[in-house]
A = this chain, B = another copy of it.
Amino acid sequence: MAISLSKTFLSITHQVFPSEKCRPVSFSGREPQLQRATSMGFATRSLRVPRVSSKTSGSLSSSIDELDKETREERRVADVWREIHGVDDWVGMLDPMDPLLRSELIRYGEMAQACYDAFDFDPFSKYCGSCRFTPRQFFDSLAMADHGYVVSRYIFATSNINLPNFFKKSRWPKVWSKSANWIGYVAVSNDEISKRLGRRDIVVAWRGTVTRLEWIADLMDFLKPISSNKIPCPDSTVKVESGFLDLYTDKDVNCRFCKLSAREQILTEVKRLLEIYQLEELSLTITGHSLGSALAILSAYDIVETGLNVLQDSRAVPVSVFSFSGPRVGNVRFKERMEVLGVKVLRVVNVHDIVPKSPGLFFNENVSPLLMKMAERLPWSYSHVGVELSLDHINSPFLKETGDLSCAHNLEALLHLLDGYHGKGHRFVLASGRDPALVNKASDFLKDHYLVPPYWRQYENKGMVSNEDGRWMQPERPKLDDHPEDTHRYLKQLGLASHH
């Protein structure tokens, strides 16, 4: 399976790029069918290699074309997914940018974005802090049925930790939960998409913070041994930011959603799914944006450190993280431990975003090795893990200059940048034709002349509906399940049941 993709890629690029066909695309539509979205959904299909071409660069016109059927057959995700997931540490795949990797990154980014789109963060909603949809309706409600995944479990975290600006609470007394916040989901690819992917893909997607960046200031900038929160790390010098660690491991016995920690929820669910699909080819893909990236990295580490990804027949399921706009998570020892364990992390960032520069603004992987060596034991000496793919929003002709820091941190904007990225120094040309209007869903980043309102994504009447008596009210939502019945069995198997 482990084809050397870097070589494959080179031959492919030669095939794809010379045969350029230019078709200018106006932003406002009437162009070839590149994606379909309905109602509140924002799906893109991107399981093919798009043929990319460009004529003008600084200008606003861009060129998009779909892959001819024959070309699409040439390289399939099913054949190269291990490379896409980092088996070779993405060597040679980032510059020039591998088209399949790009479309897969966008696909996973959209699964991270789904956490925002489904999150109820309206403080005047009874369900503030919850997910708007049931797991079963999740992807359908977001018009992402084409993604071909099924949510198997939601993950909740307790807000009783020291990250005040991360959690969303209703302003109202009578709410779905006083201390829980929905923080992500576990999903599994269905049979059809698994066939196209070449394996059964288990995805964990972690929600980040909604719009504001205050939570960065809340990070205590304090590294603590990962083992101090009962994650079985053999090396006590392996440390991570204590806020991330607490968020991952804390629980609240009085809350039906948080009586298990996010960690316990995720480990039991992954164990359950690996048991179900143990006879198939499998992958574990963990994604998240912003703070969600920190949780993605931490949980990926945890899964491999605990050996959870090793099946009964001793096969190790590859664990990869596609991180978007993520902060640093731990110290150099943590980074090294990740490498030893073989957890693959690809971090997509916008160079103008301050979040990936936090924490560890002064002592990080960029200072001289000698200084870093000296600073290594300090609690504020952080190091990024994995491989970085850095993009620059200045390169997109669709985006305007702005002093708003949250724009550079916006996930939709990052996916837009990905879509236009073909390598350092290459012109910005949208590859999939992913709708740039999505950038403004929750930001004010698109140039004004595209006539896309800033922050346009909103629900009709804030979800108020008129009931049978003509009275306007917030409808009740179906109750969310807390934890599957068999969770305890898996907790036991994981040696975690004693805490309950």
**Docked complex Cα distance between A462 and B361 (Å):** 39
Would B174 and A37 count as touching, CB distance under 8 A? no
Residues in B whose Cβ lies below 8 Å from that of A437: 464, 471-473
- Give the nearest-CB partner of A143 in chain B: B466
- Give the nearest-CB partner of A466 in chain B: B37
- Distance to closest chain B CB from A338 (angstroms): 38
In the complex this chain forms, how many copies of it are found? 2
Interface bits A469-487 vs B (CB < 8 Å: 1, else 0): 1111110000000000000
Interface residues of A in 29-48 (CB under 8 A from B): 29-40
**Docked complex Cα distance between A122 and B451 (Å):** 12
Interface size on A, residues (CB 8 A): 50
A124 at interface, CB cutoff 8 A = yes
A467 at interface, CB cutoff 8 A = yes
Would A462 and B453 count as touching, CB distance under 8 A? yes
A339 at interface, CB cutoff 8 A = no
Residues in B whose Cβ lies below 8 Å from that of A448: 171-172
A125 at interface, CB cutoff 8 A = yes
- Distance to closest chain B CB from A162 (angstroms): 27
Majority secondary structure, A binding face: loop
Given contacts A171-B448, A453-B124, contact A35 B470 (CB under 8 A): yes
Would A40 and B460 count as touching, CB distance under 8 A? yes
Residue of A171, A460, A464, A472 with highest tally of chain B CB at under 10 A: A472
Q: Which of B29, B40, B451 contacts A471 (CB 8 A)?
A: B29
Interface residues of A in 162-197 (CB under 8 A from B): 171-174
Residues in B whose Cβ lies below 8 Å from that of A32: 469
Residues in B whose Cβ lies below 8 Å from that of A28: 471, 473
Q: Which of B38, B455, B462, B472 contacts A466 (CB 8 A)?
A: B38
Would A435 and B472 count as touching, CB distance under 8 A? yes
A456 at interface, CB cutoff 8 A = yes
- Distance to closest chain B CB from A2 (angstroms): 36
Would B456 and A464 count as touching, CB distance under 8 A? yes
Residue of A29, A124, A460, A466 with highest tally of chain B CB at under 10 A: A466
Would A36 and B470 count as touching, CB distance under 8 A? yes
Given contacts A449-B172, A470-B33, A472-B438, contact A124 B454 (CB under 8 A): yes
- Distance to closest chain B CB from A45 (angstroms): 10
Interface residues of A in 420-477 (CB under 8 A from B): 435, 437-438, 448-449, 451-464, 466-474
Would B37 and A451 count as touching, CB distance under 8 A? no
Residue of A125, A173, A451 with highest tally of chain B CB at under 10 A: A451
A126 at interface, CB cutoff 8 A = yes
Residues in B whose Cβ lies below 8 Å from that of A122: 453
**Docked complex Cα distance between A448 and B125 (Å):** 11
- Give the nearest-CB partner of A33 in chain B: B469
- Distance to closest chain B CB from A434 (angstroms): 10
Would A34 and B451 count as touching, CB distance under 8 A? no
Would B469 and A29 count as touching, CB distance under 8 A? yes
Residues in B whose Cβ lies below 8 Å from that of A468: 29, 33
Would A29 and B473 count as touching, CB distance under 8 A? yes
**Docked complex Cα distance between A438 and B467 (Å):** 13
Q: Which of B174, B455, B464, B467 contacts A453 (CB 8 A)?
A: B464
**Docked complex Cα distance between A438 and B452 (Å):** 29
Residue of A33, A172, A461, A463 with highest tally of chain B CB at under 10 A: A461
Beyond A33-B469, A37-B470, A458-B460, 15 extra complex contacts between A and B, CB < 8 Å: A29-B467, A29-B471, A29-B473, A34-B470, A35-B469, A37-B472, A124-B456, A173-B449, A437-B464, A437-B473, A438-B472, A452-B472, A453-B463, A453-B464, A460-B460
21 chain-A/chain-B pairs, Cβ below 8 angstroms: A29-B469, A30-B469, A33-B469, A36-B470, A124-B456, A172-B448, A174-B451, A435-B471, A435-B472, A437-B471, A452-B472, A452-B474, A453-B462, A453-B463, A453-B464, A453-B474, A456-B461, A456-B464, A456-B472, A458-B458, A458-B459
